[in-house]
Amino acid sequence: MNQHSHRSQEELDRRRIDLALAGLEDAVRRCRDEDVRYGTGVSAALSFLELRADEQWPFEQFRKALEDPWMDGTTPEARWEILNASLNTIKRAVRRGPPTM
């Protein structure tokens, strides 16, 4: 693979990561008023990003907060806080990337 192709592949990967993160950001933005578990590609975005991260717990935490929109009486604001904190950790984990071998 020549240097140009390698750079293009890295740019494409970064764009895909950015799009997946944007989907999660949208879900967090809407989660106070909507059930965002289905139809927005959230599950696919989480799976895609999880493969590129070295920490799994923020993805599990994000999924758990999505499972029950009202989380045993949790307020929409508290749910947003959990999802937002998880998203921030996901962003850091993806930017670091998986460990190299």
**pLDDT tens digit sequence for 53-75:** 989 999 999 998 888 655 566 78
CA proximity to 57, closest of 48, 67, 46, 68: 46
Q: Could you read off the pLDDT of 5-40 as tens digits, one per residue? A: 667 888 899 999 999 999 999 999 998 888 887 766
Distance of CA 69 to the CA centre of its chain: 17
pLDDT at 33: 87
Q: What is the pLDDT of residue 10?
A: 86
pLDDT at 101: 43
Collapse the DSSP code of 26 into the 3-class scheme (helix H, G, I; strand E, B; otherwise coil) and give the result. helix
C-alpha distances out from residue 43 to 2, 10, 27, 73, 100, Å: 34, 23, 11, 23, 25
- The answer to whether the beta carbons of residues 89 and 51 sit under 8 Å apart is no
